[in-house]
Amino acid sequence: MADAWTLARLQQWISKIYDAKDRQRGVSGTFMWLMEEVGELSAALRGGNKQQQAEEFADVLAWLATIANVAGIDLDAAVEAKYGSGCPGCHQVPCVCNQAEKP
C-alpha cells in the first residue's frame, strides 16, 4: 500500500509540480483559479456523477494547496491550530453549536 496522502504530502507534491508557475501567477491569480474550480465542483455536485465529483474535489484541494504554498501557509499546521481541539466555536467533538451559527 502506498503512503497515505496527508495535507503536508499534498502541499509538497503540488509544490514540486507547479511551484514556478504558481509563484509567477501570484496569490490573486491563483485565487481566481481556485474559485473557478469551486464553481466546477458546484456544477459536479448538482449534476455530475461520482467520478466527476471526485475529480473536482481533488482539483479544489490541489488549488487550495497551491494558494497556500504561494502565500507561505503550512496547511497541516493551520488545520491543527484551528481544528485540533474540536470545533473552534464550542470546542466540542462533535460540535454542539446552534445550527444557525457558523461553523
Per-residue pLDDT for 90 more than 70? Answer: yes
Nearby residues of 79 by Cβ (< 8 Å), 6 or more positions away? 7
Query: pLDDT for 19-51, tens place per residue?
Result: 999 999 999 999 999 999 999 999 999 999 999
Q: Give me the CATH code for the 7-72 domain, please.
A: 1.10.287.1080
The C-alpha cell at 82 is: 484551528
Give 70 or 1, the one with higher predicted confidence: 70
Contact 59, 40 (CB under 8 A): yes
Average pLDDT over residues 58-65: 97
Cα–Cα dist 43/49, whole Å = 11
Q: What is the C-alpha R_g of the chain?
A: 16
pLDDT at 61: 97
Instruction: Give residue limits of the domains in the chain.
Output: 7-72
Cα–Cα dist 59/45, whole Å = 14
